[in-house]
Structure 1
Amino acid sequence: MMRAAPLAIAAAALLGGCVSLLPKPPPPPTLFVMEAGAVERAQGDPIDAVITVAAPGGERAILGADLIWRQGDTLAYVDRAQWSARAQDGLQAMVVETLERQGRFRAAAKAGDAAGEYEIRWDVLDFEVLEDRMVARFVADVRLMAPGRRIIASEMVTAEAPVSSRSATVASQALARAAREGSARIGLFAADAAAQARAQAAATSQ
């Protein structure tokens, strides 16, 4: 028993000291917010209708929480950087808020939250930083739908913002700017297409 005491003391010293056999966990990722920001009121006659916005479809990688950096045909995650919500949810909320602030429609809501006369359905094709050009690129295939799954109009919407460095903060800000510009163009497209469809319907009924 006397011989075991030094071993016990040594073991206690190892457990109570600075020696660690487990790796330290990595620091948590920095979270970046995706918001609509300031939106200009859109020109044009008001449309007395509610429009809803479906969640965008697209590749799981670009619609998740990670910021995407593209090198040629390779997609990589920006290290220790994430959106505060999944990009799919953030982009949907951004388009709804943009439509509200542009003010052409009576109201805008997420699909499923309200009944609407029109619905935006869309697929996000690109939402990443392109290293070869150092730009943040947003591309969406957008369709304005009427009740009965009828397509009123469709448009490919593209927006870009320059990326001045490889900083995660700079990349997130550029991606957010591209998304805001894309959301504004989606809102203008939807309002103009709906107004044109209503004018054609009114002319036909006369």
Structure 2
Amino acid sequence: MKTTLTLIFTLFLISFSNELIGTYQIIDEINEDILEIKKDGTYTYKERGDSCWLWNDFSGEWELKNETLTLSHLLKTTEDEFEITEVSNSKSKDSITIMIRLKNGNPISGIKLEYYSADEKTYQSSQTDVNGALKFVKNDIIYSDNDVSFIDIVDMIENKEVSTRLISSRNADEISIFVNIDPKPITKNLKHKFKFENGLLISLESLNAFDDKKGKKYKKI
């Protein structure tokens, strides 16, 4: 009897898994994401937002337990090369102080920074002093009080060519920029969970990836 029940349960799981296999599309007015669940235990997810600049494909292995589908995703990336922090005083200043340092805190002197307004029509340029600091006059309001400014760094730091554009608040009074000149590789094991119900996949939770899709439904196509 026990063997018979085990066989029935096994056949049920196989049937349930076979029902899951296929290609699904998100039900969304903006995104057209595609999730392909393959019979060999792997999947491919294609993020297709309203801008092609945000498109992204990734793949991995899937597992189904108690109607919960888990997608495993190994994300290989590197440490951030730049970290920026801002301070806005209660009484705003007319100028902004920018300090640039290595990750270990040592100041970087003689580095050229370019400072642009939100519409990029106002441009200022200067080099950091021995303390790794410099000042710019705050940009005028272009669109609203919450305008951003752009900080461009194109120079040699520790014998390495650096080229980047950072975004900061126009209202910031002090900005600290930390440069990681030798970013280390990072591997993250991400998990994405879905509920499989009535032929639909419903996003339950995600670790560090497409959290904005929580609760979204995917239909088989």
TM-score (norm 2): 0.26
The structure whose residues are more often helix, as a share, is 1
